[in-house]
Amino acid sequence: MFPYVMLAILLVRGLTLPGAWQGVVYYLYPDPSRLADLQVWMEACAQVLFSYGVASGTHITLSSYNKVTNNCYRDSVWLCVLNSCTSLVSGFAVFSALGFMAQKQGIPIDKVVTSGPGLAFIAFPQAVAMMPLPQLWAACFFLMLILLGLDTVFAGLETITSSVIDMFPGQMRRPWRREILLIVFCCFTFLLQITLTTQGGVYQFELIDYFGANGICVLFVSLVQCVAVGWAFGAERICDALEDMMGQRPGVFYSLCWRYITPLICTVCLIGFFLDFQPLTTSDGSVYPNWAYILGLAIAISSVVTIPIFALSKIYFTEGSFRQRLLVLWRPVSDPVGPKTKEEHSLNETEMKSLSAPFPDKL
């Protein structure tokens, strides 16, 4: 609750600053001409995926600790509502402070500060400095940032450690193996990211943020997940599983999203990213050199390269012809709502030869 308390305090203080309503009007006033800009749609899609933590594995990992009968539909709705409301209220707090800074400096709001670290280290501290006991509120604000960062790191670490333990259960599910893995991983990432604290660290940060943590990687992983869920596992099969879990079957709209709408949006945004590529610039307006783009693409590829590597390795080590391998791998390992015996799950050679139709949705 501490972040929400600080957000409420900053919102109240920001709205009482001179020029705050100028920022609020700028925040709420729509610009229909921007709807024709493909870059706006791509950034909006990437922001939604990044804000909700989609395709990061965090939701899948944390939800695995729930009961089988947990109402995941209700949890998803509440997550979307709370996240959207928090983003909306945060926008009022940010733009009220930007309106005050714009009036104080006598410049347009869009020239005050750009997105990114400037909002956290320029806009909000300006609002905090105008409060009574500014040192106290500044300490509370930056404590909130630290706690939010740690909370995000905890979720990411849990995702990575759970994945490694599930992949190597025989070696990792032993005493102290999990703790050793956490220590090694934390030390490795600490040494890897310590260069961000140098004088040129801000340039490295912007490069990693633009290529590594931006929309292109999340869009690609989201596309792969939609194909895996909607087509490989089967939209109807997952609806059957959810009905067994919650006693309520998802509507047809969700199946359409898993199979068609979401993959189409992700594909269009991915294509648009390369067609409408925007050069990365520093905070002072300088353009990054060409070798930086190569490094950035390497960072982006490194975060998604495991998907084709694992896919190719599975195809290579699976027996049968190339078509038979694809047919076997396209099917889910187990069916939570279908046949339960090992014999019913097996796909013998006779069945594979008789499969001449395209990849089925429900097997």
Q: What sign results for the dihedral spanned by CA atoms 141, 143, 147, 152?
A: positive
The answer to whether residues 213 and 50 touch, using CB atoms and an 8 Å cutoff, is yes
In angstroms, the CA 117 to CA 288 distance is 18
Residue labelled with tokens 């067609």:
275
Structure-block tokens of residue 92: 């009022």
Question: Do the annotations mark residue 290 as ligand-binding?
Answer: no
Question: Do the annotations mark residue 276 as ligand-binding?
Answer: no
Question: Do the annotations mark residue 83 as ligand-binding?
Answer: yes
Q: Where are the alpha helices (DSSP H) in the chain?
A: 2-15, 20-28, 38-52, 58-63, 72-105, 117-118, 124-129, 134-167, 169-172, 177-193, 201-211, 215-227, 235-246, 252-256, 262-275, 290-302, 306-317, 322-330, 342-345, 349-354
Question: Do the annotations mark residue 51 as ligand-binding?
Answer: yes
Smallest Cα–Cα separation from 98: which of 14, 8, 28, 16?
14
Q: Which amino acid is at 344?
A: E
Point out the annotated binding site.
Answer: 51, 83, 148, 151
Point out the annotated binding site for Na(+).
Answer: 51, 83, 148, 151
